[in-house]
Structure 1
């Protein structure tokens, strides 16, 4: 399911943090279509929602107040991750309850990894509970 992409996002972000880098650049491959600083050959989020595009995470047109992150070593921001997470949960859920439960499960992973706080998880849950 989606949790594999989430685990990869967290692992790459943690490795970059411990290595003292915020992104990785490939030598000799200048193409960066979305301008996030990550070359296309490494970029897993082709159309990154960078902090220049959105300084906070937006869900269904609602500003969560959660600060977006710079792209990690594979070109994904927190806004990218949460947007993908919600899209996957919407696609996989057979009803609204399953959708909200899926988002809860995925945000629990982010909370345990200390990517988001409990308060931020609550804000996300509140927004998705009101989505139709």
Structure 2
């Protein structure tokens, strides 16, 4: 899944560069046959291993966030939501296999209630 967010793409590229550096440090440490041949200290190795996991996690979480679908009801006003709710509720027939329709109706109703509550708080 490709992201259209250039900020995330730049941030991901930086994280990948850091990940490669940390992996190289780990490989240098683990590739030495004896402790006397190591060019990387134990503390640098531990930090690099921790960084590898951290960078992997940040990349995975960022990909997940950038790949999320947008909310189809995000920019709608309360009147538009109410209109949509009445249209969908008229088309709703209940019965077997209508769970998705019911969930969508509940989602729209929840958004209407949230919008009304925020108007009341102001």
Fold match by TM threshold 0.5: no
TM-score (norm 2): 0.25
The structure with the largest strand share of the pair is: 1
Q: Which has the larger radius of gyration?
A: 2
TM-score (norm 1): 0.24
Report 1 or 2 for greater relative contact order, CA contacts < 8 Å, sequence distance ≥ 6: 2
The structure with the largest helix share of the pair is: 2
